[in-house]
Amino acid sequence: MEKEFPNRLLRALGQRIRELRAEQGYSQESFADKCGVHRTFMGAVERGESNLSFHNIAKVATTLGVSLSTLFLELEGKAQTLAAQSKGATALKPEKRKAARKLDS
């Protein structure tokens, strides 16, 4: 397993949470309140910067009204896509890499 793969999985999970939250019309702040966590923590989760405990993963799934399997649906594939995008970005010159990151956000 690639050394960075767990970090990409975490980033993919954050993107999945953001996607499901937005589909349901929650703001990040109101969703964090419903989950019982601080809004800055939820922001870090959605950016893939915070490793969630199983307890918090369960809270997120329950608040979204989805099963854990739905929450984790296609996570490895999304992480693989992030890896491919990252490899493509490293081949770019620094100024183009910065622009690519802005597009990815």
> What average pLDDT does the structure give for the chain?
86
Mean pLDDT along residues 86-93:
61
Of the pLDDT bands very low, low, confident and very high (cuts 50, 70, 90), residue 65 is very high
Nearest residue to 35 via CA among 2, 71, 1:
71
The CA distance from 103 to 99, in Å, is: 7
Q: What average pLDDT does the segment 84-100 reach?
A: 62
Secondary structure tally for the chain: helices H, strands E = 7, 0
Q: Give 1's DSSP letter.
A: -
| Domains delineated in the chain | 5-104 (1.10.260.40)
Instruction: Look up the pTM and report it.
Output: 0.77
